[in-house]
Amino acid sequence: MGAGRFAPSPSGELHLGNLRTAILAWLFARSTNRRFLLRIEDLDRARAGAEELQLADLRAIGLEWDGPTVRQTERTELYTAAIEELRSRDLLFECFCTRRDITEASSAPHAAPGTYPGTCRDLSASEREAKRAVRPAALRLRSDTHEFAITDVLHGRFTGIVDDFVVLRNDSVPAYNLAVVVDDGIQGIDQVVRGDDLLTSAPRQAYLAQLLGYRVPTYAHVQLALNGEGRRLAKRDGSVTLGQLAQHGTSPEAARTMILASLGLPTSSLDAALDAFDPTLLPTHPWVFTTDPNALGTGKPIGWPS
C-alpha cells in the first residue's frame, strides 16, 4: 500500500494555509486508499514546543494519521548512507561558493536565473585543497541533465530545471532536497501533496529519487492561501492560527469549516468532505484570506475569507 504525507517544519504554529494543505493531503491519501503519514522536517528550523502545538492543531481539526510521527533529526544515518552511495558513484563534488557568488554568476547573461553555474564542478585536486583552507565545502550532485519532467495531478506534465543542487550543506547538515527524497523513498510515500510554491523543486527531487532507485511519486501541488495583498499567508497577517482564532471565539471546528468551504466541499465533517472529494473540482485559484474586524457579531469567524 502506498502512502501520502504531511510534513511541516516545526518553526511555529500552523496557520490556516498550512492546515488547508494538511487537509488536502489527507483527502488525497484517503480517497486513493493510501496511508497518511506525518513527518516533522526539523533538520533546519525547530522552535521549542512548536511540534507539540502543530500536532495538537492537526488533531483539533480532526485529522488522524497512520503510524508514529517521524522526525528528520532521528534519521540522519539514512541521509548519510544516501550521500555515501552517491559519492561512491562519483555523483558528488565539493562546492565552495557563497550565496553571493552563485547569485552574481547566475545573473550573468544567458545564465538560468537562480541555478548553479557549475563554478566548482571541475576543480583540480590542488584547487579544492586551496579552497578548503578558506571555507568548508558543501556537496553538490553532479547532474547529467538540465531538466526533468514530472506528472502533477493538478498541473499536468511539468518540466523543470535540474542543476547541480546541494545535497549536504557546508555545515554538514543534509540539504532539504536530499532529506525529503530519502524520507519519501524509505517511507514508501508515492503521493506528495503540498503547496504549489514547491512545484519547481519537484523535478530536482524526482531526478534524485530516480538516481537512488526510489519510485518517483505522483505529485499534487495545491493552490496556496494568500493574504489580502496577494502574498503567502503568514502568522503576521493576524488571526490565522487556531490559537489566534480562539481569542476571537472561533473554534477549531469553525476553522475547519472555513477551510472546507474554501475547497468547495461539504463542511459538516471530514468524512463528508472525503465522500465528495474530486481533485478535478478543486479551485484553480488561491484562497484569499483576510482578517476583517467587521466580521465580529455577524456570525462569521474573524478571518472569514473575502
Q: Find where cell 511519486 sits.
A: 217
Binding residues: 5-9, 41, 95, 97, 116, 120, 176, 194, 235
Annotated binding site for ATP: which residue ranges? 235
Give the span between the Cα atoms of 202 and 198, in whole angstroms.
Answer: 7
Pairwise CA distance, residues 189 & 305, whole Å:
32
Report in angstroms the alpha-carbon separations of 71 from 89, 99, 214, 229.
28, 28, 20, 34
Cβ atoms of 276 and 267 closer than 8 Å: no
- Which residues participate in the annotated binding site for Zn(2+)? 95, 97, 116, 120
Q: Which residues are annotated as a binding site for L-glutamate?
A: 5-9, 41, 176, 194
